[in-house]
Amino acid sequence: MKRYFIVYEGQVQGVGFRGTMISLARKHDLTGYVRNLLNGKVEVEVQGEDIDPFLKDSLSDRYFIKVKDYSIKQIPVIENEKQFTVRF
């Protein structure tokens, strides 16, 4: 089990990116959260057994979503986390 903190940059706010992250997390059976930041970026914490397919899918352009860059670091796992949510 791994957990990553990811910050996405680009055209990622106001284009359905958070909803896409929820769909991808459910598709890949992952937990965590997604949140818009005041600087126009989006942060994600994602946890699960195999996060690589989620990461690959999250970087794909979709409609108006255009990820220009991202940073990622491994962080401690949160035990007993049950779902992937939107935080405000």
Tell me which residues are annotated as active site.
18, 36
Count of Cβ atoms closer than 10 Å to residue 70 Cβ: 17
Q: Which among 5, 28, 21 has a CA at the least distance from the CA of 86? A: 21
What are the residues facing 33 on neighbouring strands? 45, 85
Beta-bridge partners for 31: 47
3-state secondary structure of 83: coil
